[in-house]
Structure 1
Amino acid sequence: MKRLTVAISAAMLLGTGCGGGDNIVGAVSSQLAPGTAARPILSNAEAGKYTKAAYFTGATSWNPTGVSVDGVTRPNFIVGQTVGVGGATHSSLQQAINAAIAKGGTQRIYIEVLRGTYSGTVYVPRTSTPITVYGSDADASTTQISLAIDGAVDSPATYSATVNPSGRYVSGDPAYPLYQSCASLTSASIGTNCSAVFWVQATGFEMKNLTVVNSLLDTVDNGTHQAVALRIDADQVQLDNVRLIGRQDTFYLNGQTGSERVYISNSYVEGDVDFDFGSSRAVYENCVFHIVSSRKTSGFVFAPDTVPSQPYGFLVLNSHFTADAGFHAGSNAAQLGRAWDQGASKTGYIAGSTPNGQLVIRESNEDAAFSNVSPWGAAATTSRPHAGNSSSTRNLDDPAYNRLWEYDNFGAGAKSS
């Protein structure tokens, strides 16, 4: 019962208004190994390989347990709508990030953000100074970082006018190179990489009690409009009680080597297409994934592009998959995810060379809106049909098959058809 209670509590705590889930009190998983080619299920022995500790094994030891600010009596910097009110030292989080990097040192710097909505991007470049950013209110919805950026439509000039209208980024600032890398593009549009509202490159960065929104949302049609809320390029990053809201590509786990580790706990992610994607090694625990139909009546929660030599991509533990009323069993069923065959648009998928997304969803609740017939879709970029390995003697990393797995999930969406 413990796992069920935690998952339900996370949804209620975040106040997401996610719509009706299954009545899961006393629920027992009906998933049996090895499953089918459409829905492969791990055995108990196989599932033993996919633990939080395994995903976070690396060159440096890391055992994250969530972000704690309970002992912070005096933050280094405070962000508020007006400097001086409520102790605010800065009126924008970007200013406080710049100040933290300028302060330097190896002691963790704490930045408190007072309740309110703050318009504009936040870029955290590489730094040896560990930084924690947290909202002053435990209700993450009361403290928001928000901006509308469209990776498919915005030109570099539009990006510059949107992101830097009054000199938020100037030459010499620590985050200026990140801004300039997008503002100086010669392409017609800025693309996915430059569409993030919040962009983190700093090892050991922590975030708590905050909402990050790419507010493009439903102001566009149902076409391709990459609009990232949060992009993470760094290792040993923790997110705790955060809300990430967008539509396409909400949360970009952009590991540069495939070994970067990110831990997301007690959090909420909303979108409609590939809204948790990338090549990092990420563990989600006690989270809510909510897919919306305001732009589309089909969609995917995950799109990992794990490098083929990396056995660990994304791991989901004790979480809850929900959808709004526009999704229902049948033709409009939501899907858990698909692989992202990044870089293979011209060659097609090449086994052992092209990324082969790796994901395990275990001990989680899947609402009735999720497909029993085809929980996994054809790969992004190449449209490679999903092919799960249901052999009892399978190699879990065989590049001839997808690496999208489930174990011990429950709810109406977790049943085989």
Structure 2
Amino acid sequence: MLNKNSIISLILFITGGLTSFSAEQRASVTWYLNSDAHVSAVAGPLIGNDEIHSNMEIYNYKILTGSGPGNTQRNRITGGNWPADANYVSDRYIQFEIRPRQGITFTVDSVSMYYGADGGSNMKANIDCSTDSTFLTSVVQLSPRALSSASGVVQFLTYKPNVQISDSQKFLLRIYPWYTTASTGKYACLQYVTIAGIAEGDVIVELPTVTTKSVTYISTTSAQCGGNITNDGGGEITARGICWNTNGDPTIMDNSTTDGTGVGAYTSILSNLIPGTRYYVRAYATNKAGTSYGNQVEITTLTELVAPTVTTSNVTVILAKSAKAGGNVTDWGGTDVIARGVCWNRTGNPTITDTHTVDGNGIGSFVSALIPLTPGTTYYVRAYATNSIGTGYGSVKEFTTQEQAPDVLKIVDINGSGGYTSVQAAFNDVPDNYTGRYVIYVKKGIYKEKLVLGQNKINVILQGEDRDSTILTYDDYIGKVVGSDTLSSGQKCASVDIEPTDFTAIDITFENTATQAQAVALLANSDRQSYYNCNMLGFQDTYYLWGSRGTQRVYNKNCHIRGSVDFIYGRGIAVFDSCIIHENRQGGTLTAASTEVNSRFGFVFLNCNIIADSIGFNGTPITYFYLGRPWQNAPRTVFINCNEPAQLSPAGWLSWNVNPALYAEYNCSGPGSNYTNRVPWSTQLSDSAASEYTIENIFSRYSISPAYESNWLPTVPENLPTSVLTDPVDVPKTFSISQNFPNPFNPSTKFTVSVPGKLKVEIKIYDLLGRKVCTLWNGDMTPGNHILEWNSLSDDGTRATSGVYYLQMEADGYFDVKKIMLIK
């Protein structure tokens, strides 16, 4: 006797699972590019090949702003080193290929994709299609002009090639990425590439191809499953879903769902199940040829709802006052996990009645920060997960915090009176994960060093003897050739790169003197960094809030930040409290935020004084500039209670790569604060909205999702080691004036004046003909070493022209002259 499965098998055997009809129908091939290069979905009588790379390679997959669901494929040139190209290269491409099945004519009327760039904004791409695999003939330029894309942003593109092919021909689509400067770390990004059109002819429909998803969220009477149809067999999918029974090999004649039509992935819910029962599940898909089934999956429902199952991860990064742990929720217990985290105490078997974290919800792994802890103390910690039934716990882990290390004081003096003459040497000697405060005191001087403070060198306090006379400077810029390397990013050209958490700088200058291109003076790249009474001086891209390992929080108090274009930029959450924001170029922009979508705040300026030079560093008068322009992601920038000068453009803001999430002002004053003609996509905050902008809120652990490991309220360090402050001041024995630095220069240069006693000093600049250009100093000068700066302005305020000048010093019978050179 034949059962129902035997009857279905016999029918399919007789017909061969095939049916034939003559029709015109929509057809398409899609490559999702979320996790691999395979063809993801075929609808209609087409055949697609997997994605091909020529002199290109897949780097990884990442979620990007503006993309479709899931990850986006990031592609780079083979090896990762892009040359500087002025146009696309014919043998460097990413290719997608389709062809019709036998007896079919296909007219391609649509090509669509998500395309973008990541890692840099100089990525270009040309997109062509052809029926010639050599691309020597029959080429259609879908993008006659090269595409440009902002970094980190994906846009949806669609083209109408209107190309007809027979079953003996192929349709090939090529994307040719190229980069305008020699660079690394740059990626062309693709997702959901679809070639679609009209198929005509005698279609032989085969059974669809479908797979069954894993069954998840198994409860007492329900579970979640689904399927993925990768090929419709040449005929429209009229029904799809899952089916199940308790015998095995379920069909649609058993219990089943109907979850839409068409190819692709879908999700289904098994309902009305019996507790404690074994079921067999598989996906199905139906077209004109019949119904096909995916692989069979076996499950057993829960006998009752229970608390979740969770494991505890090992405790790591154990410091004096903090540690990291976490867990993995492996089973939900039959109902939603509403909270998860870790709990700890000093006695054992901790529960959520003890100190604990809340680190999201749902199943899966998570990381937790145990903070604050007591130094030299033994703790017991375990993970937990809570649902409506109760709380489940993982195993208990025991650990002991480190003892608090003593404060350390290291002195840097370029003249040799300290333990170091180089700041980088002092940075190198900071031990990893030091649990005390590590103070590096830098005496006055110009320190031309390219500085990096490593990621694990936490708890460093960098203090200068005098803000304006303690200068950390360099002159790298993007595009500069250094040996065999061409600097290609803000990170590579930064004068000072601060990588660790819990860093503080006080009374010091960070500077980049390069004017040729983007040139970062200070790169802040980790959470909980503070800068008090510091200078950040440069031109384009002065201050980079990078956040390469996640969005960081940075506090700036009483700082002077100077630049020309986008000179405060990045994805960080940063507060600028009572700072001077100094524009030095006509038409410049103060900020270029790339705030992450999951951040509540971006750049916040509180009680700042915005100023602009009357004449820019390049000699052009400054008549207008902008508060900012939106760089990447979902930019947020707010100015509250700030003074705005007359040169601020009435528009206030400049459009750029993306639409900002929030560009706003509140209660600003000054001649530039009239907001009547501001761009329509900016706003003036209401009183209630402005009240949310407190330091506590901005730096709360919940200012981003997932949350930070802890709240943060920055404070000025107190009771620092003070022995250095009682050292006798180094008084020079004689007068002297140093050679200027940099030399040649543009537009400013610095030099050191040494004075043995309180005497009258005259310092002047003369041109080659002996004519006085300006007086830099004429008066008493206290004993010591003083750093002066000439910004290439004459006494009447005009900018000096390129050429040789003489720096002259006279004091109490002392006379000296230095030759200096201004180059524009």
TM-score band w.r.t. shorter chain: 0.5 to 0.7
Aligned to 1:118: 447
**CA positional deviation for 1:82:** 3.1
Name the CA distance, whole Å, in 1 between partners of 2:439 and 2:580.
Answer: 27
Aligned to 1:337: 628
Query: For 1:136-191, what per-residue CA distance to the aligned partner results, in whole angstroms no more than 9, with x for missing partners?
Result: 23xx111001110011x212427xxxxxxxxxxxxxxxxxxxxxxxxxx6xx4432
Name the CA distance, whole Å, in 2 between partners of 1:134 and 1:120.
Answer: 17
Is the aligned partner of 1:190 residue 2:520?
no
Aligned to 1:130: 459
Aligned to 1:79: 412
Alignment-mate amino acid for residue 649 of structure 2: S
Aligned to 2:710: none
Alignment-mate amino acid for residue 322 of structure 1: I
Aligned to 1:92: 422
Aligned to 2:529: 237
Write out aligned runs for 1:6-155 (5 A): 76-83=409-416, 85=417, 88-101=418-431, 105-127=434-456, 129-137=458-466, 140-151=467-478, 153-155=479-481
**CA positional deviation for 1:105:** 2.7
Name the CA distance, whole Å, in 1 between partners of 2:476 and 2:638.
Answer: 31
Name the CA distance, whole Å, in 2 between partners of 1:258 and 1:411.
Answer: 36
Name the CA distance, whole Å, in 1 between partners of 2:513 and 2:522.
Answer: 12
**CA positional deviation for 1:310:** 1.5
Alignment-mate amino acid for residue 299 of structure 1: G
> Which residue of 559, 578, 584 corresponds with 1:292?
584
Name the CA distance, whole Å, in 2 between partners of 1:227 and 1:191.
Answer: 9
Please state whether the residue corresponding to 2:429 is helix, strand or coil.
helix
**CA positional deviation for 1:401:** 5.3
Q: CA RMSD in A?
A: 2.4
Moved over 3 A (4+): 58-62
Which one has more relative contact order, counting CA pairs under 8 Å at least 6 apart? Answer: 1
Alignment-mate amino acid for residue 300 of structure 1: T
Is the aligned partner of 1:406 residue 2:684?
no
> Which residue of 182, 202, 213 corresponds with 2:511?
213
**CA positional deviation for 1:278:** 0.3
**CA positional deviation for 1:193:** 2.3
Is the aligned partner of 1:319 residue 2:626?
no
Query: Looking at CA atoms only, which structure, 1 or 2, has the larger radius of gyration?
Result: 2
**CA positional deviation for 1:60:** 8.5
Name the CA distance, whole Å, in 2 between partners of 1:292 and 1:401.
Answer: 25
Query: For 1:225-252, what per-residue CA distance to the aligned partner results, in whole angstroms no more than 9, with x for missing partners?
Result: 1100000111000000100111000000
Per mean C-alpha deviation after superposition, the further-off stretch among 250-259 and 106-115 is 250-259
Please state whether the residue corresponding to 2:591 is helix, strand or coil.
strand
Q: Does the C-alpha gap of structure 1 residues 206 and 92 become closer, same or farther in structure 2, counting only changes over 3 Å?
A: same
Query: For 1:20-61, what per-residue CA distance to the aligned partner results, in whole angstroms no more than 9, with x for missing partners?
Result: xxxxxxxxxxxxxxxxxxxxxxxxxxxxxxxxxxxxxx9798
Higher share of residues assigned helix: 1
Query: For 1:70-119, what per-residue CA distance to the aligned partner results, in whole angstroms no more than 9, with x for missing partners?
Result: xxxx9621000133x2xx000111111111226x6300110100011111
Name the CA distance, whole Å, in 2 between partners of 1:258 and 1:190.
Answer: 21
Name the CA distance, whole Å, in 1 between partners of 2:371 and 2:662.
Answer: 26
Name the CA distance, whole Å, in 2 between partners of 1:331 and 1:268.
Answer: 19
Aligned to 1:201: 499
Question: Which ranges of structure 1 fall in alignment gaps of 5 or more residues?
Answer: 1-57, 63-73, 159-184, 342-354, 385-399
Name the CA distance, whole Å, in 2 between partners of 1:154 and 1:408.
Answer: 42
Name the CA distance, whole Å, in 2 between partners of 1:60 and 1:285.
Answer: 30
Alignment-mate amino acid for residue 526 of structure 2: A
TM-score by length of 2: 0.32
TM-score by length of 1: 0.61
Q: Does the C-alpha gap of structure 1 residues 80 and 402 become closer, same or farther in structure 2, counting only changes over 3 Å?
A: same
> Which residue of 655, 659, 664 corresponds with 1:378?
655
Aligned residue pair count: 271
Identity %: 27
Query: For 1:310-355, what per-residue CA distance to the aligned partner results, in whole angstroms no more than 9, with x for missing partners?
Result: 221111100011101137xx994111101102xxxxxxxxxxxxx0
Question: Which ranges of structure 2 fall in alignment gaps of 5 or more residues?
Answer: 1-367, 373-406, 678-824
Write out aligned runs for 1:350-365 (5 A): 355-365=633-643
**CA positional deviation for 1:309:** 2.1
Please state whether the residue corresponding to 1:365 is helix, strand or coil.
coil
Is the aligned partner of 1:272 residue 2:531?
no
